[in-house]
Amino acid sequence: MTPPVQLIYHADTRPIVRAQGQPCTASSMNRPLRLLLIEDSEEDAELLLFEIRSGGYEPFHTRVYAATALREALAREEWDVVISDYTMPQFGGLDALKIVHQFDPDMPFIINSGNIGEDIAVEAMHAGAHDYVMKSNLSRLVPAIERELREAVLRREGRRAQRELLENEARFRAIVSNVPGVVFRMLREWHGGCSFTYVSEGSLALLELTPEQLQDDGALFFDLLLEADRAELRARIGESAQTLRPLSWEGRIRVASGDILKWIELRMGPRPLDNNRIQWDGIMENITRRKQAEIELLESRRQLSALSAHLQQAKEIERTRIAREVHDDIGGNLTAIKIDLLWLGNRIDRQRTELLEKVRALEGSVDRTMEITSRIAHDLRPPLLELGLLAAIEWEAAEFEKRMEIPCVVSCPSEDVAVAPEMGTAVFSLFREILTNVSKHAGATAVQVDIETIDCTLRLTVHDNGRGITRTDLLKAGSFGLRGMLERARNLGGEIRFDGNPGSGTTIVATLPVELAAAATPGLIGVGNT
């Protein structure tokens, strides 16, 4: 009759029950050990358990000696260590080893035998056993168990790390395969040579070179670059290697098929290695469509700017022409009409009072019309521009002060600066637009105007103490006045800046390039007191 499988359970304060039914108390000092024992001899099992308890462990164990019972025990519980006899009537140690490895290849498996030879022990170790202990030398058992418990932890951690590594690698390849462009790793040696240690499959579509080709010869990539761009990229790589700052670069390559020109963008971050080597991890993208759109946008802006400048110049010319015709033609005709009315009034009989009154009324109408005509001509183009830009600005400031009842002070330390007539007219128009904006939106009670020249640059600064311009004011859809100032300054080759804080007023600074002269000459407008 087959003896029953012996089960011994251990809990903190509960008794340990042996197969013979003899209770004993577990030592609270012993460490628990989940032991699966493959042994057909009950006496050998008791000796082995005694040795383990003597070594400071309290085993919770199951003893089996058949394949079916072994599989059931492995499926039912988790075990710390398996100790197996090598030779049993129905079951061998190597057979047990195969079954245990099917469940957990990292579980410590120790062979305990009384007649195993060295050749058999070596065979068992090659098959996957972790150690063997002779029954005649059980003093090695506990150290072997402790060592294999530690090794099992390391094996499991290593296997888990390997799984995570494989999962991360698969995840990385899945991500890289969906990245539009080329993911790469570039290495720069101490002598300055660059090579690719990793290149994604996207290189074939972008560069028409396989990853293997680029990893074998990194110079193939640099050969695709246009000569000027190649020199710039090498310089930028050297700078990034010295400063260890990320590199972002755009350039052109010419691939083999059809001699196609492409724009690419490189973004890569450096990391120092040993032996003065630098490694970059980066991405390379095809930005040809974006660059073409940028080029088209810049060209469109250039054309619009040229058209705006042409229209502005045409408008100024037309304003000058209209101002001249209003002043010369209409003003001259009105003057002639007034002279004729004076002549007529002097020849009417003084008794004809109604006719004299009509003549006087007509003279008044002519005077008012002449004033209106003069104002229109001044608004179109102040005649004072012929005397100098500063004179025209001072006149406009005085008119603004009189019209808005807001003090407007003009300051200009320079007196011997001259600008071309077109520039003078444009600067005056810009100044007029600034004052118009102040009158409409600032709510100011004082305006300060400063004009100065530094080298070949004219700086016009207008500060008011009003409510202060905000970023929202600059970005709102209806800010055509502000946009007109920006466009006018850009057309003049300069720039304009708006600085404002709520409640602290607004400062508008226009910086414009001007043609300077030692003294005012024909065809130039002097910037100075005249």
- Which of the pair, 445 or 23, is modelled with greater confidence? 445
pTM: 0.46
Q: For the chain, count helices (H), then strands (E).
A: 16, 20
* pLDDT more than 70, % of the chain: 82
CATH code, domain with 41: 3.40.50.2300
> Do 140 and 254 reside in the same domain of the chain?
no
Examine the fold and report which residue of 360, 379, 398 is the final residue of a domain before the chain moves on.
379
> Do 49 and 87 reside in the same domain of the chain?
yes
Question: By mean pLDDT, which of 13-27, 38-52, 319-333 is the weakest?
Answer: 13-27
Place of tokens 């040795």: 51
Q: Is residue 140 pLDDT above 70, yes or no?
A: yes
> Do 280 and 404 reside in the same domain of the chain?
no
- Which of the pair, 323 or 38, is modelled with greater confidence? 38
Nearest to 113 by CA among 91, 90, 93: 93
SS3 content of the chain, % helix, strand, coil (to 5): 50, 25, 25
Confidence (pLDDT) at 236: 93
Confidence (pLDDT) at 521: 36
Confidence (pLDDT) at 37: 92
Q: What are phi and psi of 356, to 5 degrees?
A: -65, -40
* pLDDT more than 90, % of the chain: 19
d(CA 273, CA 167): 27
pLDDT digits (tens, 9 = 90+) for 394-404: 888 888 888 88
Confidence (pLDDT) at 522: 37
Place of tokens 């304003």: 319
Domain-embedded: residue 78: yes
> Do 110 and 58 reside in the same domain of the chain?
yes
> Do 95 and 219 reside in the same domain of the chain?
no
> Do 136 and 205 reside in the same domain of the chain?
no
DSSP state at residue 25? P
Segments in 381-501 forming alpha helices (H): 389-404, 421-437, 471-475, 480-491
- Which of the pair, 5 or 491, is modelled with greater confidence? 491
Domain-embedded: residue 41: yes
Confidence (pLDDT) at 327: 67
Domain extent at residue 14 = 7-159
Amino acid at 403: R
Which is it for strands 408-411 and 417-419: parallel, antiparallel or unpaired?
Answer: unpaired
- Which of the pair, 160 or 493, is modelled with greater confidence? 160
d(CA 525, CA 389): 6
Confidence of residue 385 (pLDDT cuts 50, 70, 90): low
Confidence of residue 170 (pLDDT cuts 50, 70, 90): confident
Domain-embedded: residue 334: yes
Domain-embedded: residue 171: no
Q: Is residue 333 pLDDT above 60, yes or no?
A: yes
Q: Is residue 408 pLDDT above 60, yes or no?
A: yes
> Do 347 and 406 reside in the same domain of the chain?
no
Q: Is residue 114 pLDDT above 80, yes or no?
A: no
Q: Is residue 205 pLDDT above 80, yes or no?
A: yes
Nearest to 80 by CA among 50, 125, 35: 35
Domain-embedded: residue 167: no
> Do 29 and 143 reside in the same domain of the chain?
yes
Confidence (pLDDT) at 269: 93
Whether the CB-CB separation of 214 and 221 falls below 8 Å is answered with: yes
Confidence (pLDDT) at 530: 35
d(CA 231, CA 324): 59
> Do 282 and 303 reside in the same domain of the chain?
no
> Do 12 and 154 reside in the same domain of the chain?
yes
Q: What are phi and psi of 498, to 5 degrees?
A: -115, 120
Other Cβ atoms closer than 10 A to 7: 13
Q: Is residue 213 pLDDT above 90, yes or no?
A: yes
Q: What's the mean pLDDT when you consider all of the chain?
A: 79
3-state class (DSSP) for residue 77: coil
3-state class (DSSP) for residue 201: coil
Over residues 420-436, mean pLDDT: 77
Distances (CA, A) of 183 to 224, 289, 307: 17, 20, 44
pLDDT digits (tens, 9 = 90+) for 262-312: 999 999 999 999 988 999 999 999 998 888 888 888 888 777 767 766 776
272 Cβ neighbours under 8 A, 6+ residues apart: 244, 278, 279
Domain count, the chain: 4
Examine the fold and report which residue of 241, 257, 286 is the final residue of a domain before the chain moves on.
286
CATH code, domain with 280: 3.30.450.20
- Which of the pair, 214 or 349, is modelled with greater confidence? 214
Confidence of residue 258 (pLDDT cuts 50, 70, 90): low
Q: What are phi and psi of 128, to 5 degrees?
A: 125, 0
Q: Is residue 218 pLDDT above 70, yes or no?
A: yes
- Which of the pair, 258 or 314, is modelled with greater confidence? 314
CA 174 centroid distance within chain? 23
> Do 37 and 104 reside in the same domain of the chain?
yes
Domain-embedded: residue 166: no
Nearest to 371 by CA among 332, 409, 331: 331
| Alpha-carbon dihedral angle through residues 385, 387, 393, 394, given to the nearest 10 degrees | -150
d(CA 156, CA 218): 40
Whether the CB-CB separation of 243 and 226 falls below 8 Å is answered with: no
Over residues 460-482, mean pLDDT: 72
Handedness of CA 385, 389, 391, 397 (dihedral sign): positive
Domain-embedded: residue 172: no
Q: What are phi and psi of 183, to 5 degrees?
A: -95, 135
Examine the fold and report which residue of 268, 286, 304 is the final residue of a domain before the chain moves on.
286
Confidence (pLDDT) at 247: 94
d(CA 392, CA 408): 14
| Alpha-carbon dihedral angle through residues 391, 395, 398, 400, given to the nearest 10 degrees | -130
Q: Is residue 215 pLDDT above 90, yes or no?
A: yes
Whether the CB-CB separation of 209 and 221 falls below 8 Å is answered with: yes
Whether the CB-CB separation of 210 and 196 falls below 8 Å is answered with: no
454 Cβ neighbours under 8 A, 6+ residues apart: none
Domain-embedded: residue 175: no
Partner residues linked to 460 by β-bridges: 451, 510
d(CA 400, CA 32): 98
Whether the CB-CB separation of 408 and 397 falls below 8 Å is answered with: yes
Structure tokens belonging to residue 12? 């903190």
71 Cβ neighbours under 8 A, 6+ residues apart: 99
Confidence (pLDDT) at 309: 64
Confidence (pLDDT) at 18: 36
pLDDT digits (tens, 9 = 90+) for 22-81: 333 444 468 899 999 988 888 888 998 998 998 899 999 999 988 899 999 999 988 999
Over residues 365-379, mean pLDDT: 77
> Do 348 and 316 reside in the same domain of the chain?
yes
